[in-house]
Amino acid sequence: MSTTPHTDRDPFAVMLRGAFLPTVAVGPVAVVVAAVVGGGKAALGAALGFVIALTFFALGLVVMRKLGSAADPLRFLASALAVFMGQMIFLLVVIIALQDATWLDGTAFGIAVLAVALVWQVFQVIAFVRSRRLVFDAPDDSGQDGGSAT
C-alpha cells in the first residue's frame, strides 16, 4: 500500500465519474414514464430534456477542469460562477427556442430536466465528499507528505 498522497487526483474527473452513470440511468426511466403517461410527444420531450441536461452538466465539469483553477480558491470561485452563468444563459436560450415547439411536451421536458438535475447534483456531491483530497499542505520535513523526514 502506497503512503504517498494522491496530489494529482482530479476532483472534476471524480465528480464526473460519480454523477454520470446514475444520471444516465435516469434517462430511459424518464422516457418510458413519459411515454406511458403522455404518449409520443411526452417521450420526445423527456428524451430531449434528458440529453440537454446531461450535456449541460457534463460540459460544465469539463470546462471547469480545463480552466485548471482548483489550486487557487478565488480563481476557482470566479471560474465556477462564470461557468454557472454560462450554463444559465444556455438553458435560457434553449427554453426560449423551444417555448413554441408543438412537437414536444414541455411538461415532460421540464420534469426530465429536473430529474436529471437532481440526480446529477446529488451524485456529484456524493462523489466529491467521498473523494480523498488534501485539506492542508504538510511541511516537507514532517514525513506526512510522502517525502522522507530527516
C-alpha cell belonging to residue 75 = 480563481
Q: Is the pLDDT of residue 3 over 60?
A: no
Segment 98-108 shows an average pLDDT of 89
Least Cα distance to 111 among 6, 2, 27 occurs for 27
Range with lowest mean pLDDT among 6-10, 27-31, 59-63, 107-111: 6-10
Q: What is the model's pTM?
A: 0.74
Report pLDDT for 87.
85
- pLDDT greater at residue 72 or residue 6: 72
Which range of 6-10, 13-17, 18-22 scores highest in mean pLDDT? It is 18-22
Report pLDDT for 112.
93
| DSSP letter string, 44-100 | HHHHHHHHHHHHHHHHHHHHHHHHT-TTSHHHHHHHHHHHHHHHHHHHHHHHHHHTT
Q: Is the pLDDT of residue 139 over 70?
A: no
Question: What value does the mean pLDDT of the chain take?
Answer: 81
Report pLDDT for 1.
45
| 12/64 Cα distance (integer angstroms) | 7
